[in-house]
């Protein structure tokens, strides 16, 4: 790591505590001038670092900028060394992830950004990604799964995110089939999974799991403000985004092992916001209505029509038609 990253790592480990420039220099094996330069660079990046004479430097407890050093503090031991790249701004973390795959990025590589200029959602939509209020992340996976199991990665990722939110914040969320996370009937997270295939063998080479989570976003564009929400208010400092990012990474990487045995499907069903509800779905350019009765072991939605006809949906979008 660079001196700048090394200094940040130590400040993150001792958040809210003062560390003298001399102590930093000795522990890192660099000069005090190098430490001073690193501190100034971190301040320029927006980190809330206070310097007090005869006491040293401290990273404010309320500092909430994303950093690889801050995220690593909360990763499970087996994931401590995964590559993590954090950007101030980027067009799309999923797009960057696919470029990194072309350059032989390894399993578990994570890309995050404080904002996305062209965040990608499903069906070609954009995902609103304002600066310093959400978690916009892509995880590169090299799953050793067959095709039927691979389609469950999105379902598993939804469970991973929902469980991470609950563990870090205490907030219990619901899942809207197939890949959206809801809180108080408002969407707070979207998941976009993109496969990179080997053209010669026709097998899946890599999978990019893109996660867009509104953590403290308070203002949304007019076209989505009625439907979008966040976990917390902007001034709520119950937790930091680095911690939640790490827990999501822990869960996404761990839950891959559960895909063949489908253990996560029961959690997915327990947190479903649509089972037992009347839903509307589109198939072959036609709209139909029925009751969402179940989600099978392959993540497919089972819908019963009023005439008794059963439809099994493996993909697509639905809307919930709750009675008033």
Separation in Å, CA 91 to CA 79, 114, 136, 163, 230: 26, 11, 11, 28, 22
Residues 6+ apart with CB under 8 A from 254: 76, 160
pLDDT digits 0-9 by tens, 146-174 = 777 888 999 999 999 999 999 999 999 99
CATH of 3-59, one of 1.10.10.10, 2.30.30.180, 3.30.365.10, 3.20.20.10: 1.10.10.10
278-320 has CATH 2.30.30.100 classification:
yes
Q: What is the largest CA-CA distance in the chain?
A: 79
Q: Do β-strands 110-113 and 84-87 pair in parallel, antiparallel, or remain unpaired?
A: parallel
Better-scored residue on pLDDT, 320 or 80 = 80
pLDDT score recorded for residue 324:
42
pLDDT digits 0-9 by tens, 166-196 = 999 999 999 999 889 999 999 999 999 998 8
Residues carrying CATH 2.30.30.100, the chain: 278-320
Percent residues over pLDDT 70 in the chain: 93
Q: Is the pLDDT of residue 133 over 80?
A: yes
pTM of the model: 0.90
Residues carrying CATH 1.10.10.10, the chain: 3-59
Helix 32-44 and helix 21-28, axial crossing angle in degrees, nearest 10: 110
Q: Using CA atoms, how far apart are residues 195 and 143, in angstroms rounded to an integer? A: 10
Q: Look up residue 287 and give its two tokens.
A: 């709209």
Q: Look up residue 258 and give its two tokens.
A: 């559960």
- In CATH terms, the superfamily for domain 68-270 is Bira Bifunctional Protein; Domain 2 (3.30.930.10)
pLDDT score recorded for residue 200:
62
Mean pLDDT, range 207-226, rounded to an integer: 91
Residues carrying CATH 3.30.930.10, the chain: 68-270
Residues 6+ apart with CB under 8 A from 293: 275, 276, 302, 303, 304
The H or E element that residue 57 is part of is: strand 56-59
């Amino acid at each position: 790591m660079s001196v700048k990253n090394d200094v940040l790592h130590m400040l993150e480990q001792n958040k809210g505590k003062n560390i003298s420039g001399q102590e930093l220099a000795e522990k890192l094996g660099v000069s005090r001038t190098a430490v001073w330069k690193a501190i100034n660079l971190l301040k320029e990046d927006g980190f809330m670092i206070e310097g007090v004479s005869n006491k040293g430097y401290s990273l404010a407890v309320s500092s909430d900028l994303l950093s690889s050093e801050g995220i690593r503090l909360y990763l499970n031991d087996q994931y401590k060394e995964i590559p993590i790249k954090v950007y101030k701004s980027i067009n799309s973390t999923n797009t960057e992830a696919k470029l990194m795959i072309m350059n032989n990025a390894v399993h578990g590589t994570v890309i995050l950004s404080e904002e996305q200029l062209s965040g990608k959602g499903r069906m070609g939509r954009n995902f609103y990604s304002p600066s310093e209020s959400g978690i916009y992340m892509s995880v590169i996976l090299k799953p050793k799964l067959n095709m039927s199991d691979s389609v469950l990665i999105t379902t598993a990722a939804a469970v991973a995110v929902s469980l991470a939110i609950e563990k870090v914040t205490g907030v219990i969320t619901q899942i809207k089939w197939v890949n959206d996370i809801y809180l108080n009937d408002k969407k707070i997270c979207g998941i976009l999974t993109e496969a990179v295939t080997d053209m010669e063998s026709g097998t899946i080479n890599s999978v990019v799991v893109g996660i867009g989570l509104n953590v403290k976003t308070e203002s949304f564009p007019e076209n989505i403000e009625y439907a979008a929400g966040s976990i917390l208010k902007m001034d709520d400092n119950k937790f930091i985004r680095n911690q939640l990012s790490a827990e999501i990474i822990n869960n996404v990487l761990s839950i891959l092992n559960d895909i063949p045995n489908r253990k996560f499907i029961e959690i997915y069903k327990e947190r479903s916001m649509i089972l037992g509800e009347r839903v509307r779905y589109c198939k072959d350019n036609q709209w139909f209505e029925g009751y969402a009765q179940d989600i099978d072991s392959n993540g497919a939605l089972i819908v019963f029509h009023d005439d008794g006809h059963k439809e099994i949906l493996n993909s697509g979008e639905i809307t919930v038609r709750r009675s008033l």
